């Protein structure tokens, strides 16, 4: 069996497992009280929705992991830490634990992964003699920040029906292609397994959603994407390093960056939720839930495509591409905010 066959088989196994187990996750959610009841204006839905869909994604991924992955220290660390994140998500979806407790578990899981050998050891930077900045002892805090940051970035995007699942599918496929191009076959299989798991869940989660993935799913998906991107893509794509996953995960990364800036300016704690995310702003412009999700899918596909195209490019081309895209999305977001503000001004003046 060649690698392409393994990738496709892993994808379809994960898709079938996730699609089959999601109704069971729905039943479990009702039995243990893991129900999302809308209580504030941030909630888009108006009726209670079960939220343990992440269980189906987890088992779809792990079954494939046990089938296809040689159990090195790095991958064992990722799977154990990912399971710890899953348990944290289940508890939060059932009992609503504090943000500090969730952060502590995320840090613990990241430390497990780091000490299993998964680390960001350099940054690509074309303006140095080597084209790279080696981190040395700083690789541990940088890797910790990356894993915790991406975990929460994906979690923050789980605000509309089908949004996080769709973005995770696109990101996983994009990173899988890049890993395959760079000869990281095990990583390519695992990422495609994650893509199959999220895509198999999507029919139940797309608007109008019958079930949410909850923190059980969004934290697990974000954690796995962060950890595997370090172990595979960043280590293999030596000319572009961390630029690749930053591009692929551009939508949640930039949304999180804007959220941190916005809350800091408003004097709010960073962990306090608000209604200022990209998907909220698109809704404020008059887009429907489905239209908003499809717009963000499109942006994610564009960024993933660019990442694949530059995965073999020079450091300078990659760096310039990243800067241009960041400025384009930033100005686009500012434009959206300006239009929304003008609408509010006109509404108040009537």
Could you tell me the pTM of the whole model?
A: 0.86
Three-state DSSP class for residue 97: coil
**DSSP state, residue 209:** P
Q: What pLDDT is stored for residue 58 in this prediction?
A: 97
Joined tokens for residue 40: 């504030």
Contacts of 37 (CB under 8 A, 6+ apart): 48
Q: What is the pLDDT of residues 79-117, one digit of tens each?
A: 999 999 999 999 999 988 888 899 999 999 999 999 999
| 3 state DSSP class of 37 | coil
Residues contacting 153, CB < 8 A, separation 6+: 222, 249, 252, 253, 255, 256
Q: Which pLDDT score is estimated for 278?
A: 74
Nearest to 279 by CA among 150, 149, 167: 167
Tally of CB atoms within 10 A around 316: 13
The whole-number pLDDT of residue 107 equals: 96
Show the beta-strand stretches assigned E in the chain: 35-36, 49-50, 122-124, 132-134
Using CA atoms, how far apart are residues 232 and 78, in angstroms rounded to an integer? 12
Residues of the chain short of pLDDT 70, as ranges, are 39-46, 124-132, 233-242, 262, 269-277, 280, 312-319, 322, 326, 329-330, 332-350
Instruction: Tell me the pLDDT tens digit for each residue of 115-145.
Output: 999 988 877 666 666 666 777 888 899 999 9
pLDDT of residue 237: 47
End-to-end CA distance of the chain: 68
Tokens read off for 165: 């699942």
Token pair, residue 338, equals 């300006």
d(CA 263, CA 39): 21
């Amino acid at each position: 069996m060649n690698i392409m066959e393994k990738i496709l088989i892993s994808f379809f196994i994960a898709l079938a497992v996730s699609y089959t187990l999601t109704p069971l996750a729905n039943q479990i959610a009702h039995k243990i009280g893991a129900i999302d009841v809308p209580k504030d204006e941030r909630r888009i839905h108006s009726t209670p929705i079960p939220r343990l869909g992440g269980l189906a994604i987890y088992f779809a991924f792990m079954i494939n992991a046990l089938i296809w992955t040689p159990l090195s220290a790095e991958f064992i660390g990722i799977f154990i830490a990912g399971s710890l994140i899953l348990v944290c998500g289940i508890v939060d979806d059932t009992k609503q634990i504090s943000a500090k407790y969730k952060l502590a578990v995320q840090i613990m899981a990241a430390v497990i992964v780091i000490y299993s050998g998964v680390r960001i050891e350099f940054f690509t930077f074309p303006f140095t003699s080597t084209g790279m900045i080696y981190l040395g002892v700083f690789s541990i805090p940088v890797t910790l920040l990356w894993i915790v940051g991406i975990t929460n970035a994906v979690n923050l995007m789980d605000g509309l029906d089908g949004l996080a699942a769709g973005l995770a599918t696109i990101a996983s496929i994009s990173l899988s292609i890049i890993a395959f191009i760079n000869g990281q076959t095990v990583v390519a299989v695992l990422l495609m397994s994650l893509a199959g798991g999220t895509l198999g869940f999507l029919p139940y989660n797309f608007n109008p959603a019958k079930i949410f993935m909850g923190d059980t799913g969004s934290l697990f998906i974000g954690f796995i994407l962060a950890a595997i991107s370090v172990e595979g893509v960043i280590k293999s794509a030596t000319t572009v390093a961390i630029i690749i996953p930053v591009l692929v995960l551009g939508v949640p990364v930039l949304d999180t960056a804007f959220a941190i800036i916005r809350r800091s300016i408003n004097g709010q704690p960073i962990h306090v939720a608000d209604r200022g995310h990209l998907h909220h702003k698109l809704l404020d412009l008059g887009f429907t839930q489905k239209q908003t999700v499809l717009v963000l899918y499109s942006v994610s596909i564009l960024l993933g495509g660019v990442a694949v195209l530059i995965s073999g490019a020079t450091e300078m081309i990659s760096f310039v591409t990243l800067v241009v895209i960041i400025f384009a999305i930033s100005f686009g977001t500012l434009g959206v905010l300006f239009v929304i503000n003008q609408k509010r001004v006109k509404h108040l003046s009537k």
